[in-house]
Structure 1
Amino acid sequence: MEPNLHFWIRESQSFVQRFLHWLDILDPTNVLLSHEKIKAARELLRSEQTPKDHIEDQKIQKAWKQSLATVHPETGSVIPMLFRPAAFFPITGPLVFLFLQKYKGIKAALFPQFFIHAYNTEFSITNGNSIHAKYSLEQQLLGMTTIISTTFFGISPLLMMNRYTLKGPAVQNVVTKILPIPLLAFLSAFNVVVSRSHEYQNGIRVMDKNGNVVGLSQEAGAKAVGETALSRGLLFGTSMLLSNVFSYFLERTNIVHQNPKFLMVMKLNVTLLVMGLMVPVSFCLFPQTGQIQRTSLEPEIQSLTEETDLFYNRGL
């Protein structure tokens, strides 16, 4: 069995333990791990026995951290550096900060919108469940369509405001401060649903507790994509909401009126702080290896096993 998959199956499914695991996995140094170090960590895990002393135990814990942070739990392949879980916050955090700034035009708004949705799409595809080779081109085309459509819908309120010359203070506050929060949350969830649509259309692997694949299930695929979409929407929606709330109170302090640059620095710090907390929370909101009852699956899969509960890779 793939070691990472076995780890998530055997580990306790409590939220607190998952959160602590993700704090280790999201260590930024994991982004730069070389293939040689990853290979060495994987070889250690495959030969893992009862540790003889505390030093060996520390080595195994470090190997687990490196493996979980860099290797896809379903395919066993090394994840590209930019799309490893530890790279998510360093890339999306500054983009969310730019997203929250007041735009002077459509072009300025287009940059953060495009890159947030482009990165979200590729991150979802890379960390989702694998697909048959014949669907790979279809998935990439679908990914490009997702990026274009979500970017357009993201800037559509600004387009409408400029098109119909809606320049009132109330309208500007709604379009620039209020509407972007639920809109980005919805589009982030929508992004996951569309870019990983092959999983609930064609099914994903479900397996028993020993890692033996039972079959492909559309029900499990729908559950995996739905859970990930919800966590992604909550991640961006909550991060933007809390950042806006803190910024609202910061703008009303005397020190900000005396030094406007201080407000920009504090907004950046607040955004990164909130995002830094919400990323592990959203990743551990649901188990990485999901559990589904056999009776909830398709009849043809139910007839192939007597196991009460089966497992699937949820993805990120």
Structure 2
Amino acid sequence: MATPFSVNIEKPRYDQGTYTGRAKHFLTITNPLNLLASSSDLEKAATVVQKYRKDGFIPPDLGEEGLWRAKHLYDSAFHPDTGEKMLLPGRMSAQVPCNTAITGCMLIFYRSAPAVIFWQWTNQSFNALVNYTNRSGDSPISQNQLLTSYLCATGGALTTALGLNALTKSMPKVIGRLVPFAAVAASNCINIPMMRMKEIQEGVPVEDDNGNRLGKSTSAAKEGIALVTMSRVCMALPGMVVTPVVISWLERRGTLARRPWLSAPLQVALVAVCLTLATPLCCAIFSQRAAIPFHRLESQLQESIKKENAVVPSDLYYNKGL
């Protein structure tokens, strides 16, 4: 016999009004172990969540903890707005393993022009997939927009990386090792807005505190994209700055001269540790259900809300994406 519960799974389990609560939430969402869940596991989790949303009952063998486990697994694999299953490499739980491999190679092969081109292209291809998968709202993106965004971001990353490599040849080695981070930061500032251009043009859904949709806002879209860009740059910073500094220090001490075989695995290991911590902690800097004051909405939307609502909310909420 199914058991009734009164748990609100429409909001994260942990208080999103605090940084600690958001960090706990994203630790569950970005956990790489979620990638090991099979298609049947994901479908079972989706069934539990959908059944609970429909009638408030779940099988007695699950209990409240089982309900939350299903919800966390569901959130890690299904888009919060569309409900569609996300492509596996584009899920936030794939960030740590995929970015560890790509970032490690960018840091190891930072001087060779062909290697820079290949790994920056690989990184931007992966970023484009992640940005598309975790976009806000439910607006489709045209193939032309996808291609334009991808080419602009890739071009920006390659121009930055190759240009800075040429400029830093005569500088201390540690400066050259920081070039991949500069390229990644620059490309994020291009890739994310370009990949989500349709949101900037058409807006993202905004809701009141009760979840009632009141329209679409381009102002909210712009703010959300800016927040995502900042958190992505912060996410890349520890692994791509701390690792080169540590490697340069070990080179000056002669450690890597005596054990040159240690350089590559050490860099990958440092990147892995940094990303494991930075991914959830930087996702948590800003709440995914972001708030925007009513007065910052575009005037046309303000007037529309005023006409249709007797009481105008002071803040509206939207999914800023990841």
Residue 33 of structure 2 aligns with which residue? 29
1:150-178 CA distances to partner (integer Å, 9 max, x unpaired)? 343243326746xxxx86x427664x224
User: What residue number does 1:98 align with?
Assistant: 105
Tell me by how many angstroms 1:14 deviates: 0.9
SS in 2 for 1:214: strand
CA contact (8 A) 1:74 1:129 kept: yes
Q: Is the Cα contact below 8 Å between 1:189 and 1:232 reproduced in 2?
A: no
Q: TM-score, normalised by structure 1?
A: 0.86
CA distance in 1, matches of 2:251, 2:165: 27
In the alignment, is residue 223 of structure 1 matched against residue 223 of structure 2? Answer: yes
Contact kept, 8 Å, 1:32 with 1:81, in 2: the verdict is no
Which letter maps to 2:198?
H
The structural deviation recorded for 1:147 is 4.0
Alpha carbons 2:232, 2:282 under 8 Å: kept:
yes
Q: Taking structure 1 as reference, are residues 79 and 192 closer, same or farther at Cα in structure 2, changes over 3 Å only?
A: same
C-alpha distance after superposition, 1:231-284 (max 9, x if no partner): 111222332111112222222445433221123322221121112111112211
Gaps of 5+ in 1: none
Within a 5 Å distance, the mapping from 1:4-15 to structure 2 comes to 6-8=10-12, 11-15=15-19
Displacement, 1:131?
Answer: 5.3
Provide the residue aligned with 2:44 in structure 1: 40
Match of 2:239 in 1: 239
Tell me how far apart the structure 2 counterparts of residues 46 and 255 of structure 1 sit (CA, whole Å): 56
Counterpart in the other structure of 1:61:
68
Moved more, 279-288 or 140-149: 140-149
Post-superposition offset of 1:10: 8.7
- Say whether residues 1:124 and 2:128 are aligned partners: no
1:115 to 95, 106, 122: 122
The answer (yes or no) to whether the contact 2:49–2:67 under 8 Å persists in 1 is: yes
Of 183-192 and 285-294, more deviation after overlay is shown by 183-192
Q: Partner of 2:3 in structure 1?
A: none
Quote how far apart the aligned CAs of 1:83 are: 0.8
Query: Within 1, Cα distance between the matches of 2:301 and 2:110?
Result: 52
Report how many residues are paired: 307
Task: Give CA deviations for 1:25-75 in whole Å, capped at 9, x if unaligned.
Answer: 222232243443223223322443489989512211211111110111111
User: For 1:115 and 1:199, how far apart are their aligned partners in 2?
Assistant: 25
Q: Equivalent residue of 1:6, what SS?
A: coil
Worse overlay, 41-50 or 121-130:
41-50
The counterpart of 2:93, out of the listed 62, 86, 91, is: 86
The answer as to 2:279 corresponding to 1:279 is yes
Matched letter for residue 289 of structure 1: R
> Any conservation in 2 of the 1:113–1:151 contact (CA below 8 Å)?
yes
Q: Is the 8 A contact 1:219 1:297 kept in 2?
A: yes
Matched, 1:18 2:22: yes
| CA 1:76–1:199: 2 relative to 1, 3 Å | same
- Indicate which of 141, 145, 150 corresponds to 2:147: 141
Q: Relative to structure 2, which stretch is displaced further, 59-68 or 259-268?
A: 259-268
Distance 2:13 2:202 in 1: 24
Counterpart of 1:250 in structure 2 is 250
SS of the residue aligned with 1:153? Answer: helix
Whole-angstrom CA distance in 2 between matches of 1:264 and 1:141: 33
* Residue matched to 2:171: 170
Alignment of 1:187-198 (within 5 A): 187-198=187-198
CA distance in 2, matches of 1:208, 1:76: 20
Distance, in Å, in 1 between the alignment partners of 2:272 and 2:247 is: 13
Shift of 1:108: 1.5
Q: Which residue of 1 aligns with 2:203?
A: 203
Residues 1:92 and 1:154: Cα distance change in structure 2 (over 3 Å): farther
In the alignment, the residues of structure 2 paired with residue 210 and residue 18 of structure 1 have an alpha-carbon distance, to the nearest angstrom, of: 20
What are the ranges of 5 or more consecutive residues in structure 2 without an aligned counterpart? 1-6
Computed over aligned residues only, the root mean square deviation of the Cα atoms, in angstroms, reads 2.8
Task: Classify 1:32/1:136 alpha carbon distance in 2 versus 1 (closer, same or farther; 3 Å).
Answer: farther
Amino acid of the residue matched to residue 217 of structure 2? S
Cα offsets for 1:116-146 (capped at 9, x unmatched) = 111111211111124544x523322223323
CA distances 1:206-239 after superposition (whole Å, capped 9, x unpaired): 1122322111100000011000011111222332
Cα separation, partners in 2 of 1:125 and 1:136, compared to 1, 3 Å? same
Summarize the Cα distance change of 1:183–1:4 in structure 2 as closer, same or farther, 3 Å threshold. Answer: farther
